[in-house]
Structure formats: C-alpha cells, structure tokens
Chain A
C-alpha cells in the first residue's frame, strides 16, 4: 500500500503488460475518462449553493439578510432581500445546471480493445512533451527501444490500414495531449473586471454614505432625539452613539440597492441572449457542411466588441489548405482562366483518361486539346511534372491512385500531370513508372537533386525507356532563370510576363526547365557525385557544387501557377477588420515565403507596404540589434515577420518589449515558424503590455494554446478535428464570419451591455439616493421612502423587463450599415461606452435625478391636502407618489436610451408600468390587508392619492425635469461633436427613403509586380528517402505512413500536408544527423497528404 502511494504520487517509471488487466490495474493509472462536469444529481444543490455564496455579491446579500434579522437594525423586512436572493440563486443554479449537463455530454470516453501477444512496456511517466518519448518494449525476451516515432497520440485516426497492434500507455488526463492543453483558465471580460472594481468602489461609497448618515443620526439624537424620547423612549437606555452605530447598519440595508443583486443575473441573462443570437445567425451558418456558428462560452459577448488584436492561424483558417493547379504557361502560351470567371466556363472533361482524378477541376479546354494534339512542349511539360517530384503513390486497387506528397503544392502538380495524361503510377528507389497518354513506361531514376531552402529548386535525372538521358528541373523562377540557356531568352520574356500575371493574382509559381544530358558527361558526373556523397568532410558544399554544375544551360519549358485557395471572403474580411482598426497578426508554423504569399493574397500585405522589416537574427544579440534598428525606421508602411529561431529570441524577456514595440508599429505582422507555445507567448505578450483585447482564431490543435491564451478564442469548425473548437469560446465554419461576429454581434453586444450597465446603475442609484435625501427629514432613522414591496419588486419586476428588452434588442444601426461603417467598432476598442468616467457621469446624473425625485414631491406635497381636505401628505401617500415619480422617470430615461423600439420593447415598457399599477393596487387592496394586516399596511393609499390631480401634476413635473437636461446635453453633443454612431445614424436616416446600400461584392484586385513565392511549401525534400529505398524496406515507415493524424491533434505541430518543415530546435532542416533530437517534422515526414 505504501509503495503504491509512493508510485501514484511520484511516478518514475511506467510499467504495462499487454493483455494483463489485473497487473495494469494494480497501478491505478488514470482511466481514459476525462471529467469536466462538476456536479452530480445529489451534490448539485449544496455544491452549487456553496459556490454561489463564494461570489462576493451573493455573500454580501447573505450578510444583509443576517443584518435584517437583527430587530434593532432591521430597517426593511426580511422579504425585501430574500425574494431577490432566492430568485437570483435559482436562476443562476438553473444556468449552472444546464451548463453542467452540456459538459457531461462532452465527457466521452473512448474505448480501445486490443489483442496482441504478451509483452511488457516500460516507459517514462506521463509528461507534456510531444516531441519526446523513451521506453522499452520487452517481447519474447527481446528488447526493443521505443521512441517518439513509435507512439500514437490521443486523437489519431487510423488511415490506410485496417488494424494495428497497440498498447495504451497513458489514458485520459495523463495523455500527452491533455497534459499539453494547459489549464483552461476562467476567462473574464474587461467589462467584468471594470464592474468588479466599480462594485468595490460602490461598497466604499456605500460605507461613506452610511457613515455620513450615522454621524447625522448621532447629531440628531444629541440635539433633537433626546427631546423626543418622551414619545419614543430609547431601548435599554441606548445613547446617541450606539444609536448611530445601529443606524449605520440599518442604512447599509436600505442603501444596499446601489449594489443590486440582480445586476449579475441580468448581465448573465443578457450575455446568454446575445450568445443565442450568434447561434441563430443564418449569415454565420455554413451550408456546405451544415455548421452553424456556436457561442460555446456565454460570458464573453461584450468583449467581442472590443477586440484590438486578432491573431490568426494561416492554414485552414485563412486558407482552405487546398492547392489547386490553376494556370500554366507552356512555351510562351498561357493556359487557364482567371478564377473569377470559373463559374462561367465548363470544366474540362478528363474522361479520355481512365486514371484521372475526378476531383481535379480545370477550366481551359485549349490545354487538353494541346495535350491530345501531342504538342511536344505541352507533353514535355507534363512529363516533367510527373517525373520531377518526391511524391509516393499508393494503388490499393487497380486504377485507384492515391498520392502521398510532402507538400500540397507537389501533390497538386503531380495530380495535374495525372489528369492531363501523364500519370505517375509508382516508384522504386531507382525507377519511376508513369503512364504516358495511356502508354505504360518506366523511367530509370538516376539521381534526385533535392530541394532545400537555399537551392529553391529540385531536379531529377532520368533515363527514358528509349534510353535518352534528361535532367528535369523545377524551382523558383528567379533561380531557374539564372540557369537557363541563352537560346531561350525570348521565351523567358514571354514567360516572365505570364509569371508576373500569375503572381499578381497571388498564385504560387514554379518555373520548369529541362536539359538533355550527354551520356559520357553524366557517367563522369555520377562518379564525382558518388565520391562527394561518401566524402566525410564538406559533403554538403561539395554536393552543392556538383548540383550547380549540372543544373545549367537549361531549356525553359514554362511555368505553373498554383493557387493556395483562400477561404471565401478572406481578403474582404481582413480589409473590413483593418478598417475597424483591428490589428491582424498572422501566426503560422509555415515558412516565410508561404506566409508572405498568403499575406499578399489575402490583402493583409499590400503593394504599398514596401518596407519589409524582417527579424531573422540567429542570436539574442542579433535580434536585439535588429529590433533596435527597426525602431528608428519609418515603419508606417511596412510589415514585419520573423523567422523560426529569431522568434524564440524575440520572445526572450529581455527583448520582448522591444519586439512588441516594433511589431506594433508595423501595419501588418506575420510570424512564421512559430510553435504552438510561441503562438501563446505572442498573445500573452500583447495581452500583458498593450492591455488590449485579443482574439485568436485557428482550426487545429496547434492553435489551442493560443486560443486559450487570448481573451477570446475562436475555432474554425467543420474542418478536420475538434480540438480547437473544443477549447474555443466561439466557433464557426469560415474565417469570413469573423467580421460578422465582431462588427455585428460583438459591437451590438458591447453596446447593449454598456447601455445596460449605464442604465442599470442609473436606475439603482437614483432609487437609492432618494433614501439618502429623506434621511435628512426623518431624523436619520433609516426610514425608507418607498413601500417595502416596491423596494422588493423594483429591480425584479418593475424595471427588469424593459432594460432586458433594451439589452437584447437594441441596435444603433442594422448589420448592413455596421458593415458599411466598420469605424463604428472603434469606440468599443477605446472603452468609450462604459468606463469609470461613464460610471461617474451616471452617478452624477442619478444624483440630479434623485434630487428632483425627492424634493419636487416633498415641496409639492408639503402641507398639502386632498381636494376634500383629507390627508395626502402622509408618509404612505408620499411613498406612493415618490415611487410613481421614480418609476416614470426611469422608464422615460430608458425609452430615451433605446435606439430600437420593437414591439417587444413597447410591450415590456408599457407592460412594466401597467404591472406596477396592477401590483400596487393589488398590494394595497382590502383583501390582502385583511389577510395579513402587518404585511400590507399601505392598504388604500394608492386609491386615495393617485386620484388627486396634484399628485399627477407632480409626476409630470418630475418626469420633465429629469428628462430635460438629458435631452439638452445629448442634443448639444450631437450638434457640436457628434460621435461616429450619431453620424452613421444620421446617414441612415437620410438614406431611409432609399434602400440600404447593397453589400459590396467587389473583388479585391491587386496589380502587383511582385514576384510571388514559389510553390514549395516544404523546407527540405525527402529525395534521399526516396532514393534510399528505406521506405520500402523499413516496415516502420509504412506503418507511420498508414497513419495520418486527425485534425493535427497528435502533436500540435503542423505535419506535412499542411505546412511541413518546422523544427523546434531551430536547426536547418537538412542536417539529418541521427543524434539530433527527433523533431515532429521528421516524425511526420511520410504521412499521407489527406487533402489530395
């Protein structure tokens, strides 16, 4: 027992035996169930109540309740607190219960059943390192080492294989993934935080008021109260001091409405309502995969209206992660149509080719005609594409080809060749089989001159079935051009034109060239190549030289253009967001060229941003130097990006501030090669120093940390994997919905919440301050001004629905106009609608209103009588009058706040007033009084006072006086310095006659002379893997290639197929020295490209 305890608390090594349940259970490792729900049926009530009373507000009301039970202090009956408290607690409890039920449904436990031979695994205890694993497998007394390549992480999906043997090492919360998820922190909005500060201030203010009143009571008791003891003896000989002490607490009870208990509940209800609008929004519903938007957190809505920084993932978020072969230029002729007119043209029919990929779409018939006409250049072009690559083919059934490409670009090119009749079928280490226009032929593969970041090209040397030796090369146009034979200079000019055109459309281009080789030269070259590759020192540079030597005097064939398909509406969305003064940072694991390319095509980077500031230093000092120099640049029109390793340095404590300063000066920021952790660090950095509201949007597991770190996390749903969505606060299917989420829902939510808070504080302060003024007339005796029932119901019944109606329906301008004027979003970022100043103004306004609401009725009723001479200046009539005045004043104020009167609002406002009279007359009815005389002492008051004209004249006067300064102030402001809201609303009014402007559908056109990135999205090719033949010999490779990770849940690092080539060590990718720490890239080298 002792031993086990030791193990469970400090596990040093994990032992597991396959198919030995009892043995495994004896260690009590975590099961695979992950529990996030908090309650069960029985513990709900006590636990929930306990939790609720931990909230300061609820605890405060419990304290008030205790105060009210003390008879000497009790200035209000117990029900004035109990009724709201019970209501609030039950509403909150109901919400918690539903939340918990939702969570319970999320808690799923996976079940894995396995059958395998006996064996024992010893391995490291659970940890959060995704890139490292050590263990040993003992099977049939044979020991096998286990490393990172041999484990599957939680969330993997088995592909291309029907079964596998496995052993569960870590389950549930102990999985590496769960350990890596980080704690979900409870997110609060900035309004929440402000509210908490304000509530504390209000407590202070409450204490201040009570102290003043207690002092007042002390003085009054000394001067006047002593004379009054004849009529009202003091209890137990209390002196003035003790009386003042009691009065203090009595006034705490009476004035408690400055911190209204219903505030928190109302806020929750409003957020919930506004969350539902997001769920319900049809314009955020994506029909293609039937995904509506989802507000997964219902407590952050108003924060959506204050976003200043958006951190976006690239792949799968901005782009669809689909590469399409879009255009090409062959021998000076451009093929392919602009994607704008795609829908106008019929797609090309590839039925002539049995092996064609049915998903491939092309729109230019002339190209297929050229292939059929056996145009030699066109055929050579596609032959090159089918030969020069490192793709591997899998043909499970005859004719069903499946390509495993290292980068989606390559896959796209090979697929294009396949459809145009040059089908890459299979490869061995030294041969490539293709089907050329229906004819099977096999090319001898003599060498692969692999791609890397410096060469920016790759070549193959093949011997055709006819015995001709050729070198085929594809690569970045600038690189290829340098190596072309001078005879093709004419073709170069034409092709350059085409390349520029492609680049202008944001396409990724590659130039293709070939060269026939002389047999003798090649044999000699081959010999030298062999020597170089077996040479121990300087191998890299020697090989480099050799490659350089053979790749020259190439003949240009043409160029390809691949579109990294952006999601719909991404450029427009980014443009809209930047108009709303939202800064967009793209954080991607991709390499610089890819990221830059996407930056241009999605309009994040524009032609006029010509000062590119790149941080690429390789040491801390370099980075610092770069950042410092960056500070002095005129950075208005530049954008900045960072490379892999420099990023790690840039996030170092010593330079992070400089990094941030520089980055914030830039118009656009793109961070390349960032790890998930660094993504989160960037977000944290901005959160920490800029004090701005951040939003992170992403779709994969590598975005989880960033999504959790940001104030708001948004997950793109409907793609592969749910990890990002599960940890997000909002989820929807398309990046473009972000503008609707922010500019419409966020803005409205923020507007509504702020209006709500301003109004709520106003109405409660006004309500409460009247008591304060009355204290000066009732000997500071903690007498209330209103009837106790009115106090109980004011917040809950009489004023609850109208303000809720406002905060659920209000909109200054509709969604179309909100899009038309993204600047409307700016006040939210600046916290203009609700801040300490706004709160202070609210309090002042309340002060004025309460003065009016107390002193006008006081003066009007003072020693006045009814028209039949009977009493109307009595306490009860005065209470009825004041509360009626108050209710009218706050209701009118509400109506004035509201910009958007729907029928519901009207019903709520008028209904609440009607409710007031109905309830009042009921409470003051004979029947209730006769049943409970002491609970309903106001019997008859409403009937006797509300039929008096002077009472109503007082109500009218107070309403006018309360409204007058507000209207004046607002109208003057609008005349002299109208806010952006005023201006837009004014425009809307002017445009009312004509229908609102149609949403712009203009496609953003760039006339760019910029050469776009070349279409190699990976860092280092795996040509040597292909030629080594390892993938054929080693069973482990086929195993790992049989898996693809679902939704990248496995590592959080981008595996290939998305954007390969990340190395957490920051080392160059081609240093494949065995002792280098295994990186995730290498781990996923051979994984299927699922998108093709």
Chain B
C-alpha cells in the first residue's frame, strides 16, 4: 500500500497518517461494569476463602513451643548477675524446664528469640563492613569508617569483624536435654551448621586468605570486637571450617532483623538416632543455657522457640486469617454492590440521564 502522499509538492508539511501520530492506536478500553466487577468480587472472595482455609489448615499442622528464659527457672540468678556490670564477664549458666504435650513430627527447628532488641536502628545497621567480612585483606586491617565506634580498639588495632552489629552478637549457648520416659536424661542432638542462607555462607561471608597462613595468622594484627570473649578465628573449637567470618552463628546474627522482636535459627534437630527419628517425643525437656547476653539494659526478653515447619514456613496465623477476613469483606461488599446495582444501576437509567 504505498503512501498516497508523495513527500514533495504542495503537501510537504502534511503530517503522517500513522495510527500513532493520529492517536488512533488500537486499544482495549476496559470499563467498570456490573458484569465485570461483580463476578470479579465474588471470584476474589472465593479464591481468598480457599486460600485462607488452605493456609489455616497448613498453619494448624505446625507445632511451636516458646520458652521465655529471661528470668525463668534458675536463669533469674544469671539475670541479676548480668545486671551488675562488674560481673559481666563471669560465666553463668542456668536451666529451664518445659514439657512437650504433643509430639513434634518431622524436622524440629531450634530458635533463639529476642524481644525489644533493635537490630534495625539505622546507625546500628550501618555499623558493619561487608567488604571486610567478604574477606578483603585491605578492609581487614583498615575497616570502613561505617564501623565507628567499633572500628579500632583502644590500642588502635583494627577490629575484625568490625562494627556494632558484630560486636553485639548473641552469645548465649544452649543444650537441650530430653527427660526420657524411663527417667534417664537424653541430650537432644542439634545440627548447628546449615542454619544460614547458602549465599551468605558462600559468597557474602568469606575469610581473608593468605597463602600458607592459618586463619589465626591471617587475623593477626586485628582485635576481636570488645564484647567478644573469643577472637573470630576461634569461635568454634569443634569445627575449624566454622571459624572467622564464616561462622554460622555470626552470619545468622549479621542478617539483621527487620523488627525489634525476632528469632534466629540456632540449630536443627538431628534425627538419626532414637528417640528423635520422628521428631521430638512427648515429655519434659530442659534447656541448659550459658547465660551471657545482657537484656536488662533495654528491657529485653530472651526466649527459645521450638517449631516444626511446612511449605508455608513457621507458625504464623496472620496470612491465613487475613485471607479469610479479606474473603468475607469482599463477599460483603460484593453482596452490597449487587443490591445497589439491582436497585439503581441495572437498567442503566442513571447512565441515560
């Protein structure tokens, strides 16, 4: 079809007759009509209902136990001890007993939780050096200024890992014991590795490497964060590959929580041996805690959370309920709109006016 206007002669300045320039592009013009809106509402209500029910069932199938050990059991002593700053470095351990009424089926996850701990403060969050923890030699000895005031110690040695986040690492440790049905105490085996994101463990956190040097030698000339009792390269005496910046607990801690109440993965139940092959059996358990982390300054609470999981994650009823509520609200609105439509808009007389 050639252009009927030749680009010369009297019509040189005539605009092109293209759909775009003439604003005639083919288009879909949707409009709110009863035949689209009402079915959409009913359908939304139905889908939300189904999702809500599905989620509710899923969440109900999980089990969760929370044990607040801030001052429970013998931990009260430790809490008092930690209140006194001079005793800050003294070890203190305590035990909290709880019972499992209904057996945990499947994988059981062990979390520690903190309340009212603001990992999301801007200055706190910024106070870290990702270049250092990814193993850059330069940043190991000369951390980023973001780490202030935990960049260098009193002697001027660079802190590794630097910054407020690493310094404030949660340093309670737990061991869980099952009070067997026969009266014996069976330690509950916890897998302490594999609690981090793959990307964190393998890419984001790396130890600085120098040829033929051990980790301790690499870290030479650096200081541990002031609140740490052990240097970074000696965090896990049992596993040499779990030291330095790639220590699982450190990585978990370094993934700052979005809200002041949070829980972080501590370990997963090791189900190879009886009686834990199917999960956690019914009975009493006690947690032995090396009580180090002070929470009284900021009116915080500490807890331990044991939970099973589904495809949906842990036990959070919110989405299930939210979907059910949304479904009912949508349904109500849909019914209301239908009534209004029936009364006023059905024959389109408002439209005709």
A778 contacts B268, CB within 8 Å? no
State whether the Cβ of A290 lies closer than 8 Å to any Cβ in chain B.
Answer: yes
State whether the Cβ of A920 lies closer than 8 Å to any Cβ in chain B.
Answer: no
State whether the Cβ of A902 lies closer than 8 Å to any Cβ in chain B.
Answer: yes
A231 contacts B167, CB within 8 Å? yes
Residues A870 and B23 in contact in the complex (CB < 8 Å), given A280-B16, A933-B130 = no
B127 contacts A232, CB within 8 Å? yes
Given the complex, which residues of A lie within 8 Å of B231, measured CB to CB?
Answer: none
Interchain CA distance A737-B312 in the complex, whole Å: 63
Residues A971 and B37 in contact in the complex (CB < 8 Å), given A873-B257, A976-B350 = yes
A902 contacts B25, CB within 8 Å? yes
Given the complex, which residues of A lie within 8 Å of B136, measured CB to CB?
Answer: 933
Residue of A nearest to B121 (CB): A781
Residues A864 and B313 in contact in the complex (CB < 8 Å), given A856-B322, A989-B33 = yes
Residues A904 and B259 in contact in the complex (CB < 8 Å), given A968-B333, A986-B348 = no
B323 contacts A232, CB within 8 Å? no
Residues A783 and B127 in contact in the complex (CB < 8 Å), given A224-B298, A870-B197 = no
State whether the Cβ of A672 lies closer than 8 Å to any Cβ in chain B.
Answer: no
State whether the Cβ of B164 lies closer than 8 Å to any Cβ in chain A.
Answer: yes
The minimal Cβ–Cβ distance linking B170 to chain A, given in whole angstroms, is 11
Return the contact of B313 from the options A781, A867, A974 (Cβ within 8 A): A867
B318 contacts A285, CB within 8 Å? no
B119 contacts A863, CB within 8 Å? no
Given the complex, which residues of A lie within 8 Å of B318, measured CB to CB?
Answer: 859-860, 862
Interchain CA distance A744-B30 in the complex, whole Å: 20
Given the complex, which residues of A lie within 8 Å of B21, measured CB to CB?
Answer: 277, 280-282
Given the complex, which residues of B lie within 8 Å of A235, measured CB to CB?
Answer: 148-149
Interchain CA distance A777-B313 in the complex, whole Å: 23
Residues A291 and B298 in contact in the complex (CB < 8 Å), given A231-B124, A862-B318 = no
B10 contacts A860, CB within 8 Å? no
State whether the Cβ of A233 lies closer than 8 Å to any Cβ in chain B.
Answer: yes
State whether the Cβ of A961 lies closer than 8 Å to any Cβ in chain B.
Answer: yes
Residues A232 and B164 in contact in the complex (CB < 8 Å), given A282-B15, A778-B120 = yes
A940 contacts B263, CB within 8 Å? no
Given the complex, which residues of B lie within 8 Å of A454, measured CB to CB?
Answer: none
Residues A974 and B15 in contact in the complex (CB < 8 Å), given A783-B120, A870-B197, A983-B353 = no
A281 contacts B22, CB within 8 Å? yes
Return the contact of B130 from the options A778, A856, A937, A944 (Cβ within 8 A): A937
Interchain CA distance A867-B144 in the complex, whole Å: 35
B32 contacts A871, CB within 8 Å? no
Interchain CA distance A275-B78 in the complex, whole Å: 75
Given the complex, which residues of B lie within 8 Å of A875, measured CB to CB?
Answer: 119-120, 125, 255-258
Interchain CA distance A100-B267 in the complex, whole Å: 69
Given the complex, which residues of A lie within 8 Å of B199, measured CB to CB?
Answer: 926, 939-940, 943-944
Return the contact of B32 from the options A283, A783, A944, A970 (Cβ within 8 A): A970
A950 contacts B257, CB within 8 Å? no
B348 contacts A228, CB within 8 Å? no
State whether the Cβ of B264 lies closer than 8 Å to any Cβ in chain A.
Answer: yes
Residues A957 and B326 in contact in the complex (CB < 8 Å), given A290-B14, A863-B113, A863-B261 = yes
Contact size range, B: 35 or more
Given the complex, which residues of A lie within 8 Å of B130, measured CB to CB?
Answer: 929, 933-934, 937
The minimal Cβ–Cβ distance linking B126 to chain A, given in whole angstroms, is 9
Interchain CA distance A867-B313 in the complex, whole Å: 4
Chain A window 870-906, contacts with chain B (Cβ cutoff 8 Å), 1 for yes, 0 for no: 1111111111000000000000000000011111110
Chain A window 849-861, contacts with chain B (Cβ cutoff 8 Å), 1 for yes, 0 for no: 0000000101111
A863 contacts B323, CB within 8 Å? no
Residues A865 and B109 in contact in the complex (CB < 8 Å), given A282-B17, A934-B129 = yes
B15 contacts A874, CB within 8 Å? no
Given the complex, which residues of B lie within 8 Å of A1076, measured CB to CB?
Answer: none
Within 8 A of A (CB), among B39-92: 40-41, 44, 48, 51, 55
State whether the Cβ of B98 lies closer than 8 Å to any Cβ in chain A.
Answer: no
Chain B window 137-160, contacts with chain A (Cβ cutoff 8 Å), 1 for yes, 0 for no: 000000010101100000000000
Given the complex, which residues of A lie within 8 Å of B118, measured CB to CB?
Answer: 224, 228, 778-779, 781
Chain A window 915-941, contacts with chain B (Cβ cutoff 8 Å), 1 for yes, 0 for no: 000000000001001100110010110
Residue of B nearest to A926 (CB): B203
Q: Which of B180-188, B207-215, B271-279, B338-346 touches A?
A: B338-346
Residue of B nearest to A982 (CB): B351
State whether the Cβ of B31 lies closer than 8 Å to any Cβ in chain A.
Answer: yes
Return the contact of A290 from the options B10, B134, B310 (Cβ within 8 A): B10
Q: Which of B10, B25, B256 has the most CB of A within 10 A?
A: B25
Within 8 A of A (CB), among B253-299: 255-265, 268, 294, 297-299
The minimal Cβ–Cβ distance linking B334 to chain A, given in whole angstroms, is 9
State whether the Cβ of B200 lies closer than 8 Å to any Cβ in chain A.
Answer: yes
State whether the Cβ of A967 lies closer than 8 Å to any Cβ in chain B.
Answer: yes
A292 contacts B15, CB within 8 Å? yes
Residue of B nearest to A280 (CB): B21
State the main secondary structure of chain A at its contact with B: helix
Return the contact of A865 from the options B27, B121, B314, B340 (Cβ within 8 A): B314
Given the complex, which residues of B lie within 8 Å of A430, measured CB to CB?
Answer: none
Interchain CA distance A983-B261 in the complex, whole Å: 53
Return the contact of B319 from the options A860, A867, A869, A900 (Cβ within 8 A): A860
Chain A window 783-817, contacts with chain B (Cβ cutoff 8 Å), 1 for yes, 0 for no: 10000000000000000000000000101001100
Interchain CA distance A929-B131 in the complex, whole Å: 9
Residue of B nearest to A284 (CB): B15
Interchain CA distance A55-B30 in the complex, whole Å: 39
The minimal Cβ–Cβ distance linking A869 to chain B, given in whole angstroms, is 4
Return the contact of A902 from the options B27, B124, B353 (Cβ within 8 A): B27
Within 8 A of B (CB), among A972-1014: 972, 974-978, 982-983, 985-989
State whether the Cβ of A953 lies closer than 8 Å to any Cβ in chain B.
Answer: yes
B310 contacts A867, CB within 8 Å? yes
State whether the Cβ of B12 lies closer than 8 Å to any Cβ in chain A.
Answer: yes
State whether the Cβ of A960 lies closer than 8 Å to any Cβ in chain B.
Answer: yes
Interchain CA distance A809-B120 in the complex, whole Å: 43
State whether the Cβ of A705 lies closer than 8 Å to any Cβ in chain B.
Answer: no
A899 contacts B29, CB within 8 Å? yes
Residues A873 and B258 in contact in the complex (CB < 8 Å), given A227-B299, A933-B131, A976-B350 = yes
B15 contacts A939, CB within 8 Å? no
B261 contacts A231, CB within 8 Å? no
Interchain CA distance A617-B134 in the complex, whole Å: 92
State whether the Cβ of A250 lies closer than 8 Å to any Cβ in chain B.
Answer: yes
Interchain CA distance A637-B197 in the complex, whole Å: 81
B122 contacts A782, CB within 8 Å? yes
Interchain CA distance A589-B277 in the complex, whole Å: 103
Interchain CA distance A872-B337 in the complex, whole Å: 39
Chain B window 1-28, contacts with chain A (Cβ cutoff 8 Å), 1 for yes, 0 for no: 0000000001111111100011111111
State whether the Cβ of A948 lies closer than 8 Å to any Cβ in chain B.
Answer: yes
The minimal Cβ–Cβ distance linking A875 to chain B, given in whole angstroms, is 4
B333 contacts A231, CB within 8 Å? no
Given the complex, which residues of B lie within 8 Å of A748, measured CB to CB?
Answer: 23
B131 contacts A783, CB within 8 Å? no
State whether the Cβ of A964 lies closer than 8 Å to any Cβ in chain B.
Answer: yes
Interchain CA distance A253-B12 in the complex, whole Å: 53
State whether the Cβ of A279 lies closer than 8 Å to any Cβ in chain B.
Answer: yes
Given A778-B122, A902-B26, list of 11 further CB < 8 A pairs?
Answer: A75-B122, A228-B298, A282-B15, A811-B23, A859-B322, A862-B259, A865-B263, A871-B265, A876-B255, A900-B29, A929-B204
Residues on A facing B (Cβ under 8 Å): 75, 224, 227-228, 230-233, 235, 250, 277, 279-283, 285, 287, 290-292, 748, 777-779, 781-783, 809, 811, 814-815, 856, 858-879, 899-905, 926, 929-930, 933-934, 937, 939-940, 943-944, 948-950, 953-954, 957, 960-961, 964, 967-968, 970-972, 974-978, 982-983, 985-989
A to B CB contacts below 8 Å, 24 in the list: A228-B121, A235-B148, A250-B122, A277-B21, A281-B22, A285-B15, A292-B15, A809-B27, A858-B259, A864-B314, A865-B265, A870-B196, A873-B258, A873-B263, A876-B255, A929-B203, A933-B134, A934-B130, A957-B319, A961-B326, A970-B32, A971-B37, A974-B32, A987-B351
